[in-house]
Structure 1
Amino acid sequence: MNGVIGIIGGSGLYDLPGLQDTGWVSVDTPWGAPSDQILMGRLPTPGGDARLAFLPRHGRGHRLPPSDLNYRANIAALKSLGVTDVLSLSAVGGLRADLAPGSFVVVDQFIDRSFAREKSFFGSGLVAHVSMAQPVCARLGTHVHEALLALGVPSTRGGTYLVMEGPQFSTLAESRLYRSWNCDVIGMTNMPEAKLAREAELCYATVAMVTDFDCWHPQHEDVTVEAIVQVLLSNADQARALVARAAQAISGDGHAPACACRRALDHALITAPAARDPAMVEKLRFIAGRVL
């Protein structure tokens, strides 16, 4: 059986029909506590049970802003619970006219413009450099895209997600700049989440749910929280259906153990073994025990 499937997103995702044996668990990591407890459960599927771990990215009730999220603890907590595949669902603004509110984008690239966040598990005492050329798992992206097609959800395979620091929305000049860079969507949360998932050797895929046109669109110059929440609520049923259908495919994927994401650290550690800080090595066993 494949490992646990981690779901990072909003609280509405947890109301999956058929989800059984649920319970909230507390996890502590060497990097502190994650955004909230994690809801564990199993989803019966024709090919066997899919084991799921749901993490409210901003905490239940949306208590934490993007810059205050403990991204390292979130990813480390999922890893410690046996998660091998992470499906990240995020609300974003659309930077293309054909990505109207309600569209879903299976992202395949990022531009990271965040600046106030810890972005690596590694550091002084044990240095590592992982490849981010292909920042998401293509295998997971295929499962997600096929699930969206089967559900008839308006969706696009492939797109670049511009990650801004926030919590304020873009200025008009910024929005126009990002469009000139050929970015497709804009959000505040998927970096360093994707980088840390790669360091933890987790397969990671992003589903970006478009809630607005950002401020570049002449008919949508003012992005409001009220409008975003309204679209989020309308997307909730589709997001739950997506999670259930994709989880079935992911849990039954016999190619998963050979996925390159799960060996991302094979050639990443650069500090010579004799020069490694023993305390750092012990701390990093939490996420990098396979190579340490």
Structure 2
Amino acid sequence: MLAIIGGTGLTQMQGLKVISSQQMTTPWGSPSADVVKGELAGRPVLFLARHGHPHRTPPHKVNYRANLWALKEAGATAIIAVNAVGGISSNCEPAGLMIPDQIIDYTYGREHTYFADDLESVTHIDFSWPYDEPLRQLILQQAQVLDIALLAKGTYAATQGPRLETAAEIKRLANDGCDIVGMTGMPEAALARELELPYACIALVVNMAAGLTDEIITMADIEEALQNGMGKVLSLLDQTIQAF
């Protein structure tokens, strides 16, 4: 069963016929919100609001381990994450979409692995390609069906937050080869890999990153980009769920 993790601007799924909403407990604590089981376009789907519903948990406080664990326990066999991001590369624009294929982790102090305590042996996962390629290709194919223009690859910079970045930090990220920047891409992607859950991301660009324009980044501009772009995200999710 496909699971959707909704980020900023997606705390609930439009059109989702809710079958159950379960408050779950995990060995890692409580997830951000109830795990919602429902139907979308006649297909079963799970949904979890990453920041809670209402939106109140900042990126560095999200219990990523509990979220991923709860989804797997609820029956998830693959996950699509929706992330609001800033654009770094010149081909990014507000309300545009990217399906990243790489990620660089700049976060710190987050509980980032299930393999930390009471181990019989040290465990290492291969993370060369952090996003599941068949799931990425499925999303890209459905975007073609819907004639949704998007960027088919790119590198996501995962920063700590909750503050936005400085112009100098964005320059550094650009020099590192990053195309977009967000605060929730890690450790989510790595935890999914540890649980052997195929994982892909639909990134919605909500602003150009710091120092790339003469404008100051405002929440009003971010909200406008969310409103303008979320319709495409929801259509793409709907189509992908049907094809999954």
Structures share fold, TM-score greater than 0.5 = yes
- Contact between 1:13 and 1:239, CA under 8 Å: does it hold in 2? no
Which of these residues, 180, 185, 188, is aligned with residue 180 of structure 2? 185
Instruction: Report how far residue 192 of structure 1 moved.
Output: 0.1
Compare the two structures and name the one with the higher helix fraction.
Answer: 1
Instruction: Report how far residue 218 of structure 1 moved.
Output: 2.8
The structure 1 segments of at least 4 consecutive aligned residues displaced by more than 4 Å after TM superposition are none
Cα-to-partner distance string for 1:39-92 (whole Å, 9 max, x where unaligned): 110234xxxx52111100000121100000000000000000110110001000
2:114 aligns with 121
Bigger radius of gyration among the two: 1
From the superposition, tell whether residues 14 and 226 of structure 1 become closer, same or farther in structure 2 (CA, over 3 Å).
same
* Correspondence 1:85 to 2:78: yes
SS at match of 2:130: coil
SS at match of 1:75: helix
Distance in 1, matches of 2:11 and 2:231, equals: 9
- Contact between 2:13 and 2:47, CA under 8 Å: does it hold in 1? yes
Count of residues in Structure 1 that have an aligned counterpart in Structure 2: 240
Distance in 2, matches of 1:205 and 1:144, equals: 9
Instruction: Report how far residue 201 of structure 1 moved.
Output: 0.6
Instruction: Report how far residue 176 of structure 1 moved.
Output: 0.7
Distance in 2, matches of 1:116 and 1:149, equals: 39
Instruction: Report how far residue 21 of structure 1 moved.
Output: 4.7
Q: Note the aligned Cα RMSD (angstroms).
A: 1.3
Instruction: Report how far residue 236 of structure 1 moved.
Output: 2.0
Instruction: Report how far residue 31 of structure 1 moved.
Output: 0.4
Amino acid at match of 2:210: C
Cα-to-partner distance string for 1:102-149 (whole Å, 9 max, x where unaligned): 111101100000002001011132131101001010000001111222
Instruction: Report how far residue 188 of structure 1 moved.
Output: 0.1
Instruction: Report how far residue 154 of structure 1 moved.
Output: 2.5
Instruction: Report how far residue 12 of structure 1 moved.
Output: 5.4
SS at match of 1:60: coil
2:146 aligns with 151
* Correspondence 1:26 to 2:20: no
- Contact between 2:2 and 2:80, CA under 8 Å: does it hold in 1? yes
SS at match of 2:103: strand
* Correspondence 1:71 to 2:64: yes
SS at match of 2:99: strand
2:221 aligns with 227
Instruction: Report how far residue 246 of structure 1 moved.
Output: 0.5
Amino acid at match of 1:238: K
Distance in 1, matches of 2:68 and 2:198, equals: 11
2:194 aligns with 199
Q: What's the TM-score once normalised by structure 2's chain length?
A: 0.94
- Contact between 2:29 and 2:66, CA under 8 Å: does it hold in 1? yes
Amino acid at match of 2:33: D
Distance in 2, matches of 1:23 and 1:237, equals: 25
Instruction: Report how far residue 157 of structure 1 moved.
Output: 0.8
Give 5+ residue unaligned stretches, structure 1.
251-292
- Contact between 2:59 and 2:161, CA under 8 Å: does it hold in 1? yes
Distance in 2, matches of 1:144 and 1:171, equals: 32
- Contact between 1:13 and 1:236, CA under 8 Å: does it hold in 2? no
Cα-to-partner distance string for 1:164-197 (whole Å, 9 max, x where unaligned): 0011111110011111112100000010000000
Instruction: Report how far residue 99 of structure 1 moved.
Output: 0.6
SS at match of 1:14: coil
